[in-house]
Amino acid sequence: MGRKIVVALGGNAILSKDASASAQQKALLDTAEHLVKFIENGDQLIISHGNGPQVGNLLLQQAGGSTPENPEMPIDTAVAMTQGSIGYWMQNAMNRVLKEKGIDKTVATVVTQVEVSPDDPAFTNPSKPIGPFMSKEEADEAKAANPEFTFVEDAGRGYRRVVPSPKPINVVETKAVNTLVDAGIVPISVGGGGIPVVTENGNLEGREAVIDKDFASEKLAELVGADALIILTAVENIYVNFNQPDQKKLEHVTVSELEKYIGEDQFAKGSMLPKVQAAIDFVKATKSEAVVTALDNIDGFINDGSGTIISAD
């Protein structure tokens, strides 16, 4: 039996500049062409994905059209809505590519709740970027139209809305995901970081937040007993001194080496840092390897082991 792997897709695998449904479906078809290579390699695949652009756009659309008779939905419900829509597109894309390749495999989306602590300090310190990048002028206009929103500069690429981003402590549907894997089905889970819920009086209740997809993917990988966590992003490797004359790519790196680089502020908070931290968490919890590489480097990773491979000390 092949390795059980959780593959976490970055937002660039779904949406670039064109936010239309057709453009995102086309992007996911391209993404599926790459992901199916893991199945061809004999791996047991579990897919996770981000939803920052999609949920941000949905919240802005709702805020712009909200009325007392047709009010906007809370963030946790918007996360569930984008889990469903992206999962629908991804299932269809994967099924189409699998059919073309003659592979008999079912893909199913799990609407996934991810438990967080009600006392997580993130609820009083919004930090998770969602929605489109904006100029300063566009962000000011959006703030004027939605005074309750918070906007910050994100990784030198423009301004984005930020919302609370609590850390995951449990994935409620872990057993369902493993049951699907055992049945030979490819699950799509913790979409957009999962629907944030807390336990109150023995029941699960949603919270207004967006969980980082890399941390949710790590928690899922840990709980399902994955053999590897593979985080796919826009670059083939993690770099130190990124975009500097002495830029250096990391190929094989240990947890302690990455922690040293974090101490040097080598990784951008809005982009690479959470990926590095999630990889470290997975390796520490499981002693298995984590990988950070690009979607279009899957062949290189499978055949040559290229990418950044993070291992225990």
**Residue indicated by tokens 């609407």:** 111
- Cβ contacts of residue 99 below 8 Å, gap of 6+? none
pLDDT at 12: 65
CATH number at residue 93: 3.40.1160.10
Mean pLDDT to the nearest integer, 122-139: 87
Mean pLDDT of the chain: 93
Its domain, for residue 104, covers: 4-116+166-226
More confident residue, 61 or 287: 287
Indicate whether 44 belongs to any domain: yes
Indicate whether 104 belongs to any domain: yes
Indicate whether 33 belongs to any domain: yes
Indicate whether 70 belongs to any domain: yes
pLDDT at 41: 96
Mind listing the pLDDT tens digit for each residue in 51-100? 888 888 888 888 778 788 888 899 999 999 999 999 999 999 999 999 99
Indicate whether 69 belongs to any domain: yes
Give me the count of residues in the chain: 313
Mind listing the pLDDT tens digit for each residue in 226-255? 999 999 998 999 999 998 999 999 999 999
Burial 134-152 (b: 16+ CB within 10 A, else e): beeeebeebbeeeeebebe
Indicate whether 259 belongs to any domain: no
Q: Name the DSSP class of 124.
A: G
pLDDT at 1: 57
Q: Which residues are catalytic?
A: 11-12, 128, 213, 275
Indicate whether 59 belongs to any domain: yes
Q: Tally the domains of the chain.
A: 1
3-state SS record for 63-110: HHHCCCCCCCCCHHHHHHHHHHHHHHHHHHHHHHHHHHCCCCCCEEEC
Indicate whether 181 belongs to any domain: yes
More confident residue, 59 or 164: 164
pLDDT at 127: 85
- Cβ contacts of residue 92 below 8 Å, gap of 6+? 25
pLDDT at 13: 78
Give yes or no for residue 271 having a pLDDT over 90: no
Rounded to 5°, the CA angle 291-295-296 comes to 120
